[in-house]
């Protein structure tokens, strides 16, 4: 049953990728787009001897396989896209970064829970990590020298100094390494507690599994919305280039693809210098593909013959862009709040299980 649930969520994410796939076909392969009907008629003619019902079964299986494969890829890319710390800018004034990554959200929840006395440890591994977390949170001692259960922070030190800025987007971050260590420790504690709960079976963790499924769908839907929004903007700019070649707006749209390309290169530099070889640059790859697609559509070497009028229908690209922008922001906020709720539920459920959760 759990496998079917995972397949169902992955298929939903793959199905939600259809809008931008259709846009890619329309914007880059518009000659092939007009032949889709011929392909369908050819398939009906060749497979007609098997009967209409069997054809529908075959098509259904193929569509499910394609949706599941696409959803698996999009889900993994979206997970890294919203949990990537490589995109930041440092200057004398301060640092600008993507503050609300998945790990930072979880670390913030654990900081609040530790301050409220809600964290508990039922195994030696968790006890050691809890001590390290409290030590790193206070910033008052050497994490390597602390023993499980040992008091950590002196009274004169301000507890939670790192936690106060863990979700900040801008500011002077002088102890980035200490902050990364705190986030990493919180992630390990979360993983140990989450796995201890999941081992108890589906009935005991139904609420957690529902929240986890929501995170997966919201994260994938938000990523799909961002990609669709970008292609809608590109199609809007391509129409302006075709219909109003002398308009100054075409230069504005021509500069839009430069932004994701610049972000991709900047993040890739940080990724190659700070990450292990086992961590693929998913976010950088996604931004680069979006930027290169915009260059092909909006720069002089491409003539958008029919961008904006699929099948003779005139699409309102400004309104469509606004729609997917609103959907993307809504999905992002929904994913953020669900991540917080999920981390809180893991802590509450682990505490309510007592020593049994740690022994399973």
pLDDT score, position 357:
42
Co-location of 103 and 77 in the same domain = no
Q: How many separate helices (H) and strands (E) can be counted in the chain?
A: 14, 3
Co-location of 35 and 134 in the same domain = no
Co-location of 34 and 107 in the same domain = no
In-domain check, residue 355: no
Co-location of 70 and 214 in the same domain = yes
Report d(CA 303, CA 305) in Å as an integer.
6
In-domain check, residue 203: no
Co-location of 191 and 228 in the same domain = no
Secondary structure (3-state) at 299 = coil
Co-location of 130 and 167 in the same domain = yes
In-domain check, residue 356: no
State which of 154, 172, 198 marks the end of a domain. Answer: 198
What domain range is 308 assigned to? 2-81+210-335
Co-location of 221 and 282 in the same domain = yes
In-domain check, residue 344: no
In-domain check, residue 193: yes
In-domain check, residue 360: no
Co-location of 175 and 229 in the same domain = no
Report d(CA 224, CA 230) in Å as an integer.
10
Among 130, 107, 115, 153, smallest CA distance to 339 is for 107
In-domain check, residue 57: yes
Co-location of 114 and 180 in the same domain = yes
pLDDT score, position 301:
56
Domain count of the chain?
A: 2
pLDDT along the chain (360 residues), means of 10: 63 90 81 54 58 64 83 92 86 78 91 81 78 77 47 42 78 70 89 86 80 93 96 90 80 90 92 83 93 87 51 77 95 95 91 57
Among 96, 119, 95, 284, smallest CA distance to 189 is for 119
In-domain check, residue 68: yes
CA distances from residue 44 to 35, 57, 60, 67, 281 in whole angstroms, order as listed: 14, 13, 14, 22, 42
Q: What is the pTM of this model?
A: 0.82
Locate 326 and state its tokens: 């609103």
Half-sphere exposure of 86 toward its Cβ, with a 13 Å CA cutoff? 26
Co-location of 278 and 322 in the same domain = yes
pLDDT score, position 146:
44
């Amino acid at each position: 049953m759990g496998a079917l649930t995972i397949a169902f969520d992955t298929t939903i994410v793959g199905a939600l990728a259809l809008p931008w796939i259709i846009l890619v076909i329309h914007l880059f392969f518009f000659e092939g787009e007009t032949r889709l009907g011929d392909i369908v008629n050819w398939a009906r003619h060749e497979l007609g001897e098997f009967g209409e019902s069997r054809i529908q079964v075959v098509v259904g299986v193929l569509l499910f396989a394609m949706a599941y494969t696409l959803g698996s890829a999009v889900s993994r890319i979206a997970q890294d896209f919203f949990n990537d710390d490589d995109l930041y800018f440092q200057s004398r004034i301060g640092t600008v970064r993507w503050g609300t990554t998945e790990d930072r959200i979880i670390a913030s929840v654990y900081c609040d829970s530790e301050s409220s006395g809600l964290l508990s440890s039922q195994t030696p591994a968790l006890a050691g990590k809890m001590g390290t977390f409290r030590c790193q949170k206070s910033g008052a001692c050497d994490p390597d020298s602390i023993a499980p259960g040992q008091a950590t922070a002196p009274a004169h030190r301000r507890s939670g100094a790192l936690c106060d800025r863990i979700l900040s987007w801008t500011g002077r971050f002088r102890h980035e390494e200490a902050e990364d260590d705190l986030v990493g420790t919180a992630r390990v504690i979360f993983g140990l507690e989450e796995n201890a709960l999941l081992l108890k079976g589906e009935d005991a963790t139904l609420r957690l599994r529902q929240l986890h499924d929501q995170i997966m769908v919201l994260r994938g839907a938000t990523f799909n919305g961002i990609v669709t929004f970008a292609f809608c903007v590109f199609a809007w700019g391509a129409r302006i280039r075709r219909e109003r070649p002398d308009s100054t707006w075409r230069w504005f749209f021509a500069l839009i693809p430069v932004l994701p390309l610049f972000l991709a290169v900047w993040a890739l530099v940080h990724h190659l210098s700070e990450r292990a070889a086992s961590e693929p640059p998913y976010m950088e790859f996604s931004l680069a593909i979006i930027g290169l697609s915009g260059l092909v559509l909006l720069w002089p070497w491409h003539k958008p013959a029919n961008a904006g009028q699929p099948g003779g229908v005139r699409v309102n690209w400004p309104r469509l862009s606004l729609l997917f922008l609103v959907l993307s922001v809504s999905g992002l906020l929904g994913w953020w709040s669900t991540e917080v709720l999920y981390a809180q539920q893991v802590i509450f459920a682990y505490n309510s299980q007592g020593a049994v959760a740690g022994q399973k």
